Structure 1
């Protein structure tokens, strides 16, 4: 890990401040003030931002890149819980009590972060209570998505869940191109398997079937071209709400 030499003003105009929904209601002057108290860091691919059981002392915002949050199961497998990308935040547990981190966070690619210490963030909440409301809304959405994912494990087939995951990635990481939607995958095939709790071979088989059906087209290991969204939604069992 290395500290970033980007100044607050550059952060404000280029990156994190305008990407983060929790700051969306603030004025330009307010954003300038907040940018002045942000800490900046850089991480290399595979580097750990913090580990399960640690006590994070900051709210961390992903400025560039993406990270995975995961736990190691009792049988030694990696279970991915979240993928956080630009504008997402984590580390909030210890800001509202002395709680340890429930997961490890690791960089999936080179990552830049903006963070606030616990003390500075509490000052922000007192000065701008609307930020607290935005955080509650985001955490509620996160819980809702996790509940939907857990429910889908019991009522939807693995094929449904893989298709739904692709739709979720298309919404968050997709770019419109002439032939469809180019999905820049935040996870490898193995990472997708760890996210869904299935074997890597299962993911590869399903992707192969979708490609044979003309629904997607593989574009190397880093991206997939979604050719037919409606067919993928049908494969997922319903419209994307995964």
Structure 2
């Protein structure tokens, strides 16, 4: 996303966080731009019944939690390290100064936000009206094209657990397992050694 050297030039610090560490909580005020250097981070909500809904999973080179910076609102979800991770943290004022002085970076951020907005719109429609198999295929195809940047003919090795697929699609794990078996029978995915390929 943003060149690490540019981040460091604008006062970013590199944090080392352990798996399970909470980076920010739901409802806290947005004060920093975050970008993953290594590891994985999820943004999630937990409902009253304790069920998790994952808003997104972010990998090396990706940023997370920017919309509240622009809107000057609290975080609508929390962020947690899924693995041990290194994360750049840049204060809000320094982030906006960087964007003002580097318009090409501003454009990249806008493109990333637009892509996430598109994904949210697609998944909101899927969750409200589509069958589990359809939801899973849409998630995998989005991951293939927009996260892994693979061509249609290339094979995606899905690095999400069944639980993460469930949390990203609003399904139960058991439903994901059944739907994946049905998708494999239809030739939509392949399952080898418990790994999903699309």
TM normalised by structure 1 equals 0.69
Pair 199,72 (structure 1): closer, same or farther in 2 beyond 3 Å: same
- Pairwise CA distance, 1:57: 1.8
> Does residue 188 in structure 1 map to residue 183 in structure 2?
no
Q: Distance in 2 between matches of 1:201 and 1:143?
A: 28
Contact 1:68 1:106 (C-alpha < 8 Å) held by counterparts: yes
Pair 169,34 (structure 1): closer, same or farther in 2 beyond 3 Å: closer
Q: Distance in 1 between matches of 2:46 and 2:23?
A: 16
Contact 1:183 1:224 (C-alpha < 8 Å) held by counterparts: yes
Partner of 2:132: 158
Partner of 2:171: 198
Matched residues, number = 193
* Secondary structure of the structure 1 residue equivalent to 2:155: strand
- Structure 1 or 2, whichever has the larger Rg, is 1
Q: Distance in 1 between matches of 2:38 and 2:77?
A: 21
1:156-202 deviation per Cα after TM superposition (whole angstroms, max 9, x unaligned): 321111122223334434989xxx735141x3212211211111101
Pair 115,200 (structure 1): closer, same or farther in 2 beyond 3 Å: same
- Pairwise CA distance, 1:89: 0.9
| 1:41-52 matched pairs, under 5 angstroms | 41-52=15-26
| 1:50-61 matched pairs, under 5 angstroms | 50-61=24-35
1:137-159 deviation per Cα after TM superposition (whole angstroms, max 9, x unaligned): 22122111111111123443211
Contact 2:19 2:82 (C-alpha < 8 Å) held by counterparts: yes
* Secondary structure of the structure 2 residue equivalent to 1:114: strand
> Does residue 210 in structure 1 map to residue 188 in structure 2?
no
TM normalised by structure 2 equals 0.83
Pair 98,166 (structure 1): closer, same or farther in 2 beyond 3 Å: closer
Pair 129,61 (structure 1): closer, same or farther in 2 beyond 3 Å: same
> Does residue 108 in structure 1 map to residue 82 in structure 2?
yes
Partner of 2:107: 133
Partner of 1:224: 196
> Does residue 67 in structure 1 map to residue 41 in structure 2?
yes
Partner of 1:8: none
Of residues 160-169 and 45-54 in structure 1, the stretch that sits farther from structure 2 once superposed is 160-169
Q: Which runs of 5+ in 2 are unaligned?
A: none
Contact 2:34 2:64 (C-alpha < 8 Å) held by counterparts: yes
- Pairwise CA distance, 1:125: 2.1
- Pairwise CA distance, 1:95: 2.9
Contact 2:140 2:158 (C-alpha < 8 Å) held by counterparts: no
